[in-house]
């Protein structure tokens, strides 16, 4: 039996066997992810939004769209580093990612849990204003049942301490994308120690340049590569996993 599946404009899948359909759907998702990456790295803002809508409407996992954008961001970051693109492109890339996140959020929000399982303070450390990654982490913590206090960007060490006393979180998450963020992270961990809060609060760090070596340098308890890792760490620390 010959099956002809017209998925949407521009893509017609013909299959000799019904069993092939899941495979074809997976291929279609892969194609759309690649299209999103291409549109993103070409800075075609309207196409980025259109393809994101198509992916979400066709039932693709919303996190797939974010992952495609993350890959595109890596390419743009590398171009910036190599001098092949400049600050305006970086700003546009940030803006496109924010718009994609705004589209993805309501789809994930359907899974929001009502019972709160713990408290987390999140902030981008002093000297650093990158907040897209932080906001994704906050969103994922929120939908996974955490009460999150967002201190924003360029957060001074003293503000973390003040907020920790007031909010009494089990976890503090420090975000930073610049190499310059390492020292404020270390200073924040030390200040928590001086304030007598270090034993009762776990510290996780994350952001573009962060790895385990940075974790050792800063004295944090763990580093997380992405928002999923942040949720896993926080859950472990509040005894939920």
Q: Which of 11, 21, 26, 91 binds ligand B12 (CB under 6 A)?
A: 91
**Which 220-239 positions form the footprint of ligand B12 (CB under 6 A)?**
224, 226-227, 229-230
Q: What is the dihedral of CA 227, 122, 102, 112, to 10 degrees?
A: 70
Closest residue by Cα to residue 123 from 152, 91, 81, 83 = 152
184 counts as binding ligand B12 under rule CB under 6 A: no
Interface segment toward ligand B12; rule CB under 6 A; list 28-36, 50-58, 131-139, 187-195:
131-139
Binding mask 53-82 for ligand B12 (x = CB under 6 A): -----------------x--xx-xx--xx-
Partnered with residue 121 across adjacent β-strands are 149, 172
Q: Which of 105, 208, 217, 240 binds ligand B12 (CB under 6 A)?
A: 208
Residue whose token pair is 């270090």: 198
- Joined tokens for residue 206: 């994350």
Q: Do 149 and 120 form a contact (C-beta atoms < 8 A)? A: yes
Cβ burial of 82 (10 Å; 0-12, 13-18, 19+) is exposed
Closest residue by Cα to residue 48 from 95, 88, 81, 14 = 95
Work out how close the CB of 140 gets to ligand B12 at its nearest, in angstroms, rounded to a whole number: 7
Q: Which of 62, 169, 184, 206 binds ligand B12 (CB under 6 A)?
A: 206
Work out how close the CB of 19 gets to ligand B12 at its nearest, in angstroms, rounded to a whole number: 35
Binding mask 162-181 for ligand B12 (x = CB under 6 A): -----------xxx-xxx--
């Amino acid at each position: 039996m010959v099956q002809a599946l017209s998925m949407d404009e521009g893509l017609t899948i013909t299959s000799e066997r019904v069993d092939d359909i899941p495979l074809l759907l997976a291929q279609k998702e892969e194609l759309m992810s690649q299209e999103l990456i291409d549109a993103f790295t070409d800075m075609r803002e309207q196409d980025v939004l259109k393809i994101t809508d198509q992916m979400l409407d066709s039932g693709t996992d919303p996190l797939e769209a974010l992952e495609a954008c993350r890959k595109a961001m890596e390419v743009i970051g590398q171009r910036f580093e190599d001098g092949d693109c400049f600050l305006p492109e970086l700003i546009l890339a940030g803006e496109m990612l924010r718009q994609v996140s705004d589209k993805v959020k309501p789809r994930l929000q359907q899974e929001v849990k009502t019972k709160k399982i713990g408290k987390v303070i999140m902030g981008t450390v002093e000297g650093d204003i990158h907040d897209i990654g932080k906001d994704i982490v906050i969103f994922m913590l929120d939908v996974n049942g955490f009460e999150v206090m967002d201190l924003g960007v360029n957060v001074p060490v003293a503000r973390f301490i003040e907020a920790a006393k007031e909010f009494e979180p089990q976890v503090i998450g420090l975000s930073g994308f610049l190499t310059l963020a390492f020292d404020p992270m270390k200073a924040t961990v030390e200040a928590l120690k001086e304030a007598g809060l270090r034993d009762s609060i776990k510290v996780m760090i994350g952001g573009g340049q962060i790895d385990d070596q940075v974790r050792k340098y800063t004295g944090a308890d763990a580093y997380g590569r992405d928002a999923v890792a942040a949720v896993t760490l926080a859950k472990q620390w509040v005894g939920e996993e």
